[in-house]
Amino acid sequence: YNWDLIEINGHDHNQISKAINKARTGKKPTVISCKTIIGYGSPNKSNTASVHGSPLGGAEIELVRKKLKWSSMPFEVPENILKEWRKLIISGKKHEENWKKNFDKLEKNKKEELLRIKSGNLPKNFNEKIAQIKDKFFENSKPIATRKSSEACLEAITTFIPELIGGSADLTGSNNTKSSSQKIIKANNFNGTYIHYGIREHGMCGVMNGLALDQSTIPYGGTFLIFSDYCKPSIRLAALMKQRVIYVLTHDSIGLGEDGPTHQPIEQLFSLRSIPNLNVFRPADSIETLEAWELALKSNSSPSVLALTRQDLPMVRKKESKENLTQYGGYILSDSEKENCNLIIIATGSEVEIALDVQK
């Protein structure tokens, strides 16, 4: 994969420093493999399982201090180390001054746009743009798969939200996650907004978490809903960290496709819905798909899942509405004509069409 690998003694700070400097000056991505011993310095517990989940204890800590020749008191930072840290403050101030000088050179509109992006806020005309897209969707009410509806949303949204960074785990053509305006980020050119992650769902979601930590980017990535199991640890962390990450999970259907039962999501939706602070949207048509994207982009302290279909779905929202009904989690799509209702049918996603047929 054209990476540099540096193996070092992870307990030797000189080797660590040299490896980091080499990685900084290299032209390839670098993996630094630090060989370490668990419980290093502990005469009685080093390299044992007991040091993993249990405290060393006062007596053993004293032995470690002697072994490592550490004479400073607990919570005391030695003067020579403190001096090195204070040098970083001076260096940091210089970098900040240079950044401010470059920022002051920018035109007013570019300054405002950069500050908006850095703050994590959406463009001022966001609601207006979403309303325009919704009007177009109502005009074209032909049956369409929600993954294709999502693609249509992205085709419009990526033109006025430059901080969107998209990608897919080697399923771009199936997830419909790339708009025509997006350029691919390549090894020698980072001037793009789309990443080909390869067949690495867990890695993709980890990268997206990292991107989201800096509020100036809104990452989204696609794979099949069935493969959300590979994404789960990173999705859960995104929810815990309150990060705005968007997961485009397509081929949501219990119907068997050409790939067979290995690609048939059954329990995945229930598992995702059980994660606290994770928005799970399962739109029934193109209108709900757009509303899901709107809510996901506005949820700056929660990650969101968009569970989308492979098969075409009819437009079930016949009545035009400027209001985002998806935000309520549930709403009445087709009310009973009788005064006394004996049965309430609840459905989401591709089953809404079936539920409406049952009502008839």
Residues marked active site are found at 201
Q: Which two tokens stand for residue 121?
A: 């806020």
Which phi and psi angles does 180 have, rounded to 5°?
-70, -20
Beta bridge partner(s), residue 164: 218
Q: Which two tokens stand for residue 192?
A: 């793009």
Which amino acid would we find at residue 245?
V
233 to each of 230, 236, 278, how far by Cα in Å? 8, 5, 13
Question: Rounded CA gap, 260 and 86, in Å?
Answer: 61
Q: With contact defined as beta carbons under 8 Å apart, do 300 and 237 qualify?
A: no
Burial call 141-150: b when 16+ CB within 10 Å, e when fewer: eeebbbbbbb
Supply the DSSP symbol for 341. -
Question: Rounded CA gap, 345 and 352, in Å?
Answer: 9
Question: Rounded CA gap, 255 and 233, in Å?
Answer: 27
The residues near 2 (Cβ < 8 Å, ≥ 6 apart) are 28, 29, 187
Q: Which two tokens stand for residue 86?
A: 């204070």
3-state secondary structure of 222: strand
The residues near 360 (Cβ < 8 Å, ≥ 6 apart) are none
DSSP-assigned letters across all residues of 244-261: --EEEEE---SS--TT-G
Map tokens 């999502």 to a residue: 150
